[in-house]
Structure 1
Amino acid sequence: MTDAAQRIHAVTEATWPAARHWCRGPWTIRDGAGGGKRVCATTAEAAFSGADFQTAEADMRALNQPRLFMVRQGETALDDALDARGYRIIDPVNLYVAPVGLIDDRPIPPVTTFNIWEPLAIMREIWAEGDVFADRIAVMQRCKCPKTGLFGRANDHPSGVGYVAVHDGMAMVHALHVRPAQRRHGSARWLMRHAARWARAQRAEQISALCVRTNDAANQLYISMGFALVGQYHYRIHPDDRTP
């Protein structure tokens, strides 16, 4: 794993935090409280044996969570061990980063984007359209870092939302969603520029984002804006469990 990817993982932990986490042998176990894969996946922090998997699996089942592991770039031994146990790959993710000045590259037209916290009812409504419900908004609310919500307008209508927080000089944008009817009008770009501008005011030097590899439109957005791909990870889930 590169230094840049390692830093992004640390920023993710801080800006999109689990409800609880603890060490159990070689593992970090996370209680996601319904907030999705990123906050409930178990990660390996040290060398492990076959018996260690039973311990992790027992903890995850006790939380009524799927038996789910995050496999970060370079963790070949973990990936192979999970594959041998029948765990299947889901949701490979790309890690992107850019200087804030590269993204905050032009004036934002008036009444186009706003930073707002706590989220407005219309922001929650738009998030819900993108499957970001109360449990994931709770993840944002428990973040202790400087943070804000992003709200966009296009064609005199609410167009999109996002959430951005800063840790250790790096901002991370999460839960970016633009309404289908308002896409291809630049809303996502303006929201990302606003995120970078807000991050600069928090003295962040870099801005980052995570994107599922199958989301072609979002990956193209980040690449076209100048973000660099600095790493990847994926999840492996037990074959008898459902994706959270």
Structure 2
Amino acid sequence: MKDAAAPDLFAVIDATWPAADTTMAGGFRIREGRGGGSRVSCASLEAPFAEADIDAAIAAHRGWGQTPRFMIRPGEEALDATLAARGYEAYDPVVIYETPVRDLPATEAAMIEVPPHWPPLAVLREIWAAGDIGPARLAVMERAAGPKAALLGRSGNRAAGVAFVALHAGTAMLHALFVPPAFRRRGLAQEIMRESLRWSAAQGAERFTLVVTRANTPARAVYERMGMQATIGYHYRREAAK
């Protein structure tokens, strides 16, 4: 059994960080990512698990020139074990955090350079590029169909941190938060998140979410200090390099 919250949160991921295309192969939904990362290039199980469907999913991935990879969500232990037996390697375990939007911070976000906006200014694109968030991931942001915004933070009057936030079905999700190493430990990530919360509230969102790797303990500590709660997690399996 999947966690009751899982389908809703995964729908938010798909809507706010969308693939270029999707297709069904057996019981799997296959995403075409065009270089946009695992979230938009994976297969997810959308029907009762049948091992025979794995080969159809692999063929669909190859048809798009992608490395076969699968998202493993709560309750999909049989799929996980089957892929492991085939030699598929596990990677990128993540956890989804959330908080009600009504829990707005009391202080103003003083380190925000410009109001949330779209499309992003050139300086945001430059900062994202420094964090390996290049054209393929910017194309993912462009595809998001609902309300969305780019955010720019500053430190010492310098543009220093960026993020992307988008809304789906009353839930906002933060993506692509990046602060260059030289500007970290100054509270800039928290300021960007505070402004993201305000933008989300103005758009009518009821909750605010994000996805982070389990190994990113500094970021997780920031989110927990801000009152966000870890909810559910997932990981991926991919064909091992030969």
The TM-score by the shorter chain falls in which range? over 0.9
Conserved 8 A contact 2:111-2:191: no
Matched to 1:3, the amino acid is: A
The alignment-based identity, stated in percent, is 43
Take 2:105 and 2:120, find their aligned partners in 1: how far apart are those partners? 23
Aligned to 1:132: 133
SS at match of 1:3: coil
Take 2:180 and 2:111, find their aligned partners in 1: how far apart are those partners? 20
Take 2:189 and 2:240, find their aligned partners in 1: how far apart are those partners? 36
Aligned to 2:67: 66
Aligned to 2:178: 177
Aligned residues between the structures? 241
Matches within 5 A, 1:1-244: 1-109=2-110, 112=113, 114-240=115-241
Q: Over aligned residues, Cα RMSD in angstroms?
A: 1.4
Conserved 8 A contact 2:99-2:229: yes
Take 1:160 and 1:3, find their aligned partners in 2: how far apart are those partners? 34
Take 2:4 and 2:98, find their aligned partners in 1: how far apart are those partners? 12
Change (3 A) 1:55 1:8: same
Change (3 A) 1:7 1:214: same
TM-score of the superposed pair, with normalisation by structure 2: 0.95
Matched to 1:116, the amino acid is: H
Take 2:30 and 2:182, find their aligned partners in 1: how far apart are those partners? 40
Deviations 1:206-227 (A, max 9, x none): 0000001111111111111111
Segments ≥4 residues shifted beyond 4 Å: 110-113
Q: Which runs of 5+ in 1 are unaligned?
A: none
Conserved 8 A contact 1:112-1:190: no
Matched to 2:232, the amino acid is: G
Take 1:83 and 1:36, find their aligned partners in 2: how far apart are those partners? 21
Deviation at 1:108, TM superposition (A): 2.1
SS at match of 2:5: helix
Deviation at 1:34, TM superposition (A): 1.2
Conserved 8 A contact 2:3-2:75: no
Deviations 1:184-206 (A, max 9, x none): 11110000000000000000010
Deviation at 1:114, TM superposition (A): 2.8
Take 1:111 and 1:89, find their aligned partners in 2: how far apart are those partners? 38
Conserved 8 A contact 1:97-1:228: yes
Deviation at 1:51, TM superposition (A): 2.3
